[in-house]
Structure 1
């Protein structure tokens, strides 16, 4: 049976104590019912208060906004400025000392206490909304409007489009704009919420109608730092002392009404931002200032607002709560101390927001410089939803973002903390997507355990109904996977022979199948991600689990680490911290023969020795030498040979150039004996002049040797990270 608090949230109280309730408290909802407060010294108190909102998903799932947790650096800086800082959780409607989240959107019950009302926030001078993941009701939007009309300030901190932290189909860009990217009928919610379908107009939506600005639905990376900082005499002094600010997968904004809103920081002409690798569409629409400001402010009537498109340059690396769907410990980007931090900008913004001023707009009077309208404030890509109204990822089995009974212990809004017992006698275990296990580890797991397993498909099992999954490092270890009906056409080797020898990731329950160790009740199967180059790894956000390939350049920190360089561009390097068991084989100081070896490394993107790095290394594999995937030196691989290989393997392949593909950026290589077998070869910029058939038609029909990594390109089998091209005739 379920706990008695069905569809209710953690008992939370806005109090004056920083301390968290005991993790071993006897009653459900009591382990974390005290919201933190931070206060300045009496001599430093400026008499102003900042509320940080967590009532609408600020610490949901993967998000990390909690002021005594991941954002303590920001809160501490404001206390040093003289502010009192409080965490806002909602309104205690029934006066029981606890604030509970009820799913009012589904149930229609007037019981939800995780809400925003004007009376509850009116004592604050600034209200900070960070990565809000649950939509506002019409009355909540009205409360925020009333707050601004009273001369107060709101700081909207968003992130990239589809940063759906709690897997409920909403991200902060959508919640702040006042509409979902999708125009599906389900987003015309009616009732307390109204119509949240995409209006497909830059001039429509709650944010733009009140503040003259909207968040874009893009996803951009530029960790070098967005450098187009507008002069402080045009930004009310807010940009004084501000340096370029990193963007680790973020969004920009579009200024629609330049008398209400204006940008603070833009991409400069010399900046070279790129699409975030997980972006759902092009990610980067226009580039430069035309992409819109990264940070901005608005003045609409008596009050003020400020905006930034990424939380990374503000947050720190000390999250307090665990993920709600799987109880994983969270890790955040230590942006507050990063070289591209927004610490100065963030504090300057709060100081400006907390200072009432009588002027109404940026209309050019009294020296108030107006903004610059963004040329295309709503791109065509933003009219459509590439997710088709689906959540960012597939929710784990048994997890429901709207039902707090399904939240894992020690996650925000969970019924219980660590050390407490869930009375459900038959808890539904959920997978841990961030912690993929090997087949060998799956074999050792208890029956009924939900697992996420990576392995190689080696055979069909029971005709079309299953498959045999083999351990990547020990082919003698294997497990049978029972396929659901919808999975058979793609993943059963009898129905789809091309899946043989592919690496896949299977989410299911440890069980037996066909009298052998197995996985059943499979909820998800994915093709395993291919390895990144060092250059790509450098663009990956800290805390992400990655696989990367590169060449060993040197030892680092004596025996404890190595430097891995990009196989195609040695100017890109990353530091790899070796675990104790890995040093004898992979430390160049202990084993000089490993120098120049090509490695496949699985670990977590982090920093090491004050530089970009990889830590928590799970495995290292040599891709050349004894573990080589290179061909026999007496002959090149054929195109057909390479088509049968796994992605991520180094290859030397020869074939005939038949045409250009994707303009000047790639070519089609055909098999010498079977012209229907083709590979797409992605050309590096230095290779295009000589080898692109579009730029040099004379290469068509000639035989070409390609050295690179097998990987898909434009959804077709291909070779990328090309290190060498040689014409053979």
Structure 2
């Protein structure tokens, strides 16, 4: 027998596809339990981290302020600056791999994990709080104070008064200020929260007491752009290059203590802002600079803070989630690319917040120019609440903002994803589908798609992926910033007409069918998996790889099974010259060998098959014990780059993410661990949660090094073998 040894990455990169019509019982709250992380290139890494908080809001109503949704342009710009950007969801108190929200104001539960603690956020240099719609507990306020006192920065992004997006009677202006606009007795919450009634005094409240500033309860429109940009020599350089910034229904702030806070952008005397059409009162109280700054900064002690009264000039038009209340698709404003965008201002603010400085206040010392106090920091209109503490709309039938079980599919914190068919939170290259199959998938479905790159889309920001067998079938792929240099045809023309494998979620892009939230792109190996071969058109000449399962039709054929899922098979008709070597009936040693076969896709014996076989090559004849004496240690694998196929041996130390993964410890280094993501067919036998007797046993794992749940791990696991 002639053996040709090839890189086993072919089998690992191209595995079994999702069977048409197959379905799995989805486990609630597992579909979206991995928070996204965006990282800069190693050569551009500035060593600093920005957390975007979603533990207290930012995804309610039409808001979608997540780093892989309508704040993706903002996040990508920070990555270009060298920042690592992470989504912060809370604290996994019960270590089940997911963050659950239970509103403790309503039921007094201790299960709420959507919380902020200092230990959970202390690794960040900057925390972005975007349209927070749930009040902070006293301990959470203390955690934020400790974060700033340690020299870190917070960016508060609010919106107009009554932007109560989850209809719980709170908007971001109230949450940030530390009190509801109403003074009703019900807002003296007590317990963990304390008194949140309106103090009717501009000098009282959490925000002003810590940062010398408060958000107004106004609602103003000025899409032409707020043009009173303060000179950069008075704003720590933050307004350098900043142009007028649009306000599409927003709030201003009031500087109460000018030694702590100062404005960056005001209404100029030539500006003509107006009341927002849906404002609950006059909407615009004073006009001009007396309305207070639209954007501001604060320096109080070692740390810093920054503020803006509208999300519109920062957001982009690529929302990720559905609405929680009714399941409708969100529509966000393309502010990041609007002529009145805050892109320069927002990046400048983050750079300033991320830079520790020794001065304590804007008190005129060390050349630090103080702010200008707002003449009337709390208007009469702000003493009373025209809504008596009621939300600005009525909740949809069956929706309860305090009960996530009522959230609609594909909304943040919902039990299930939209059109969910697989409980695995992460799509893997073992679930490869064609472009045509991807087009038929429901919005939000995790997919791994193979296709041909045929054009750039939206300049450098995307690509057009065409079906390998049907050029008329194509889908748009939105590229993340780190993927554009290698995979956008405008930046890299050599990628045109290459076959690639894209891992992401089915969604719309540029108003057309698309794939977004792309976590991985790989150049497709030449050989198809068995399941990909099954999806090819009859009569097409193909090259595929698989494992010999059995003889077929006596000596005349063989059954080839998929490397990653033996339930997918294809019949291969052997030519006369091939039978002695490759027919299992004549040569039983060929069983379990991995082959590469070139032939024509055609049915054989009334089943999917390959005929007119031109060549057969043996990739490896040792499929039972790959690399038996050369297993890598866990520590060895931790030192490798992501994307490499490995065979590693170690000790099973714990279950991870319930039944979905396990932790593999190093034989000699207890602190070195890998997270091993288990496929659905592997969990019954290898999940420590289902099999506690596995703990402490040694295990060999074949897979591809990659991160799982933001921890070094192995995905695309093709084989697991207990060693003792």
Instruction: Report the Cα offset of residue 61 of structure 1.
Output: 2.5
Q: How does the TM-score come out when normalised to structure 1?
A: 0.55
Residues 1:421 and 1:403: Cα distance change in structure 2 (over 3 Å): farther
Q: Which residue of 1 aligns with 2:248?
A: 248
Secondary structure in structure 1 of the residue aligned to 2:145:
helix
Q: Is contact 1:23-1:418 (8 Å) kept?
A: no
Q: Provide the C-alpha distance between the structure 1 equivalents of 2:421 and 2:209, rounded to a whole number of angstroms.
A: 48
Q: Which residue of 2 aligns with 1:354?
A: 354
Secondary structure in structure 2 of the residue aligned to 1:105:
helix
2:189 pairs with 1:189: yes
Q: Is contact 2:180-2:187 (8 Å) kept?
A: yes
Secondary structure in structure 1 of the residue aligned to 2:139:
helix
Q: Is contact 2:25-2:421 (8 Å) kept?
A: no
Q: Is contact 1:297-1:306 (8 Å) kept?
A: yes
Equivalence map 1:297-696=2 (5 Å): 297-420=297-420
Q: Provide the C-alpha distance between the structure 1 equivalents of 2:331 and 2:26, rounded to a whole number of angstroms.
A: 29
Secondary structure in structure 2 of the residue aligned to 1:262:
strand
Q: Which residue of 1 aligns with 2:199?
A: 199
Q: Which residue of 2 aligns with 1:58?
A: 58
Q: Provide the C-alpha distance between the structure 1 equivalents of 2:197 and 2:45, rounded to a whole number of angstroms.
A: 44
Q: Which residue of 2 aligns with 1:46?
A: 46
Instruction: Report the Cα offset of residue 62 of structure 1.
Output: 2.4
Q: Which residue of 2 aligns with 1:593?
A: none
Alpha-carbon displacement from aligned partner over 1:29-53 (angstroms, at most 9, x marks no partner): 1111110000000000000000000
Q: Which residue of 1 aligns with 2:234?
A: 234
Secondary structure in structure 2 of the residue aligned to 1:154:
strand
Secondary structure in structure 2 of the residue aligned to 1:34:
coil
Equivalence map 1:67-86=2 (5 Å): 67-86=67-86
Q: Which residue of 2 aligns with 1:112?
A: 112
Q: Which residue of 2 aligns with 1:467?
A: none
Q: Provide the C-alpha distance between the structure 2 equivalents of 1:270 and 1:69, rounded to a whole number of angstroms.
A: 35
Q: Provide the C-alpha distance between the structure 2 equivalents of 1:263 and 1:182, rounded to a whole number of angstroms.
A: 27
Q: Provide the C-alpha distance between the structure 2 equivalents of 1:24 and 1:198, rounded to a whole number of angstroms.
A: 50
Q: Is contact 1:241-1:344 (8 Å) kept?
A: yes
Q: Which residue of 2 aligns with 1:515?
A: none
Q: Provide the C-alpha distance between the structure 1 equivalents of 2:130 and 2:246, rounded to a whole number of angstroms.
A: 17
Which structure 1 residue ranges, 5 or more long, are not aligned? 1-21, 423-606, 609-729
Q: Provide the C-alpha distance between the structure 1 equivalents of 2:131 and 2:289, rounded to a whole number of angstroms.
A: 24
Q: Provide the C-alpha distance between the structure 1 equivalents of 2:24 and 2:85, rounded to a whole number of angstroms.
A: 27
Residues 1:162 and 1:119: Cα distance change in structure 2 (over 3 Å): same
Q: Which residue of 2 aligns with 1:458?
A: none
2:175 pairs with 1:180: no
Q: Which residue of 1 aligns with 2:219?
A: 219
Q: Provide the C-alpha distance between the structure 1 equivalents of 2:185 and 2:421, rounded to a whole number of angstroms.
A: 41
Q: Provide the C-alpha distance between the structure 1 equivalents of 2:230 and 2:164, rounded to a whole number of angstroms.
A: 31
Q: Which residue of 2 aligns with 1:123?
A: 123
Q: Provide the C-alpha distance between the structure 1 equivalents of 2:223 and 2:62, rounded to a whole number of angstroms.
A: 21
Secondary structure in structure 1 of the residue aligned to 2:298:
strand
Secondary structure in structure 2 of the residue aligned to 1:344:
helix
Q: Provide the C-alpha distance between the structure 2 equivalents of 1:136 and 1:177, rounded to a whole number of angstroms.
A: 10
Alpha-carbon displacement from aligned partner over 1:632-685 (angstroms, at most 9, x marks no partner): xxxxxxxxxxxxxxxxxxxxxxxxxxxxxxxxxxxxxxxxxxxxxxxxxxxxxx
Instruction: Report the Cα offset of residue 264 of structure 1.
Output: 0.1
Larger Rg: 2
Instruction: Report the Cα offset of residue 28 of structure 1.
Output: 1.1
Q: Which range moves more in the overlay, 328-337 or 99-108?
A: 99-108
Q: Provide the C-alpha distance between the structure 1 equivalents of 2:381 and 2:318, rounded to a whole number of angstroms.
A: 36
Instruction: Report the Cα offset of residue 392 of structure 1.
Output: 1.4
Q: Is contact 1:40-1:84 (8 Å) kept?
A: yes
Q: Which residue of 1 aligns with 2:426?
A: none
Residues 1:23 and 1:141: Cα distance change in structure 2 (over 3 Å): farther
Q: Provide the C-alpha distance between the structure 1 equivalents of 2:234 and 2:57, rounded to a whole number of angstroms.
A: 34
Secondary structure in structure 2 of the residue aligned to 1:186:
helix
Instruction: Report the Cα offset of residue 421 of structure 1.
Output: 8.7
Alpha-carbon displacement from aligned partner over 1:395-430 (angstroms, at most 9, x marks no partner): 1121110001111011101001112499xxxxxxxx
Q: Provide the C-alpha distance between the structure 2 equivalents of 1:270 and 1:419, rounded to a whole number of angstroms.
A: 51
Instruction: Report the Cα offset of residue 103 of structure 1.
Output: 1.6
Q: Which residue of 2 aligns with 1:96?
A: 96
Q: Provide the C-alpha distance between the structure 2 equivalents of 1:101 and 1:225, rounded to a whole number of angstroms.
A: 38
Q: Is contact 2:62-2:332 (8 Å) kept?
A: no
Q: Provide the C-alpha distance between the structure 2 equivalents of 1:123 and 1:270, rounded to a whole number of angstroms.
A: 44
Q: Provide the C-alpha distance between the structure 2 equivalents of 1:58 and 1:72, rounded to a whole number of angstroms.
A: 13
Q: Is contact 1:298-1:304 (8 Å) kept?
A: yes
Q: Provide the C-alpha distance between the structure 2 equivalents of 1:241 and 1:421, rounded to a whole number of angstroms.
A: 48
Q: Which residue of 1 aligns with 2:283?
A: 283
Q: Provide the C-alpha distance between the structure 1 equivalents of 2:101 and 2:260, rounded to a whole number of angstroms.
A: 34
Q: Which residue of 2 aligns with 1:142?
A: 142
Q: Which has the higher contact order (CA 8 A, sep 6+)?
A: 2
Q: Which residue of 2 aligns with 1:32?
A: 32
Secondary structure in structure 1 of the residue aligned to 2:258:
coil
Q: Which range moves more in the overlay, 57-66 or 153-162?
A: 57-66
Residues 1:23 and 1:406: Cα distance change in structure 2 (over 3 Å): farther
Instruction: Report the Cα offset of residue 265 of structure 1.
Output: 0.1
Q: Provide the C-alpha distance between the structure 1 equivalents of 2:219 and 2:418, rounded to a whole number of angstroms.
A: 35
Residues 1:142 and 1:340: Cα distance change in structure 2 (over 3 Å): same
Residues 1:63 and 1:24: Cα distance change in structure 2 (over 3 Å): farther
Alpha-carbon displacement from aligned partner over 1:460-500 (angstroms, at most 9, x marks no partner): xxxxxxxxxxxxxxxxxxxxxxxxxxxxxxxxxxxxxxxxx
Residues 1:257 and 1:321: Cα distance change in structure 2 (over 3 Å): same
Secondary structure in structure 2 of the residue aligned to 1:35:
coil
Secondary structure in structure 1 of the residue aligned to 2:381:
helix
Instruction: Report the Cα offset of residue 311 of structure 1.
Output: 0.2
Instruction: Report the Cα offset of residue 390 of structure 1.
Output: 0.6
Residues 1:177 and 1:42: Cα distance change in structure 2 (over 3 Å): same
Q: Which residue of 2 aligns with 1:162?
A: 162
Q: Is contact 1:40-1:80 (8 Å) kept?
A: yes
Q: Is contact 2:131-2:171 (8 Å) kept?
A: yes
Q: Is contact 2:221-2:274 (8 Å) kept?
A: yes
Q: Is contact 2:160-2:250 (8 Å) kept?
A: yes
Residues 1:234 and 1:400: Cα distance change in structure 2 (over 3 Å): same
Instruction: Report the Cα offset of residue 27 of structure 1.
Output: 1.1
Q: Provide the C-alpha distance between the structure 2 equivalents of 1:211 and 1:152, rounded to a whole number of angstroms.
A: 14
Q: Is contact 1:24-1:417 (8 Å) kept?
A: no
Q: Provide the C-alpha distance between the structure 2 equivalents of 1:361 and 1:277, rounded to a whole number of angstroms.
A: 38
Secondary structure in structure 2 of the residue aligned to 1:43:
helix
Q: Provide the C-alpha distance between the structure 2 equivalents of 1:204 and 1:183, rounded to a whole number of angstroms.
A: 14
Q: Is contact 2:23-2:421 (8 Å) kept?
A: no
Alpha-carbon displacement from aligned partner over 1:669-724 (angstroms, at most 9, x marks no partner): xxxxxxxxxxxxxxxxxxxxxxxxxxxxxxxxxxxxxxxxxxxxxxxxxxxxxxxx
Instruction: Report the Cα offset of residue 58 of structure 1.
Output: 1.2
**How many positions carry a matched residue from both structures?**
404
Q: Is contact 1:219-1:276 (8 Å) kept?
A: yes
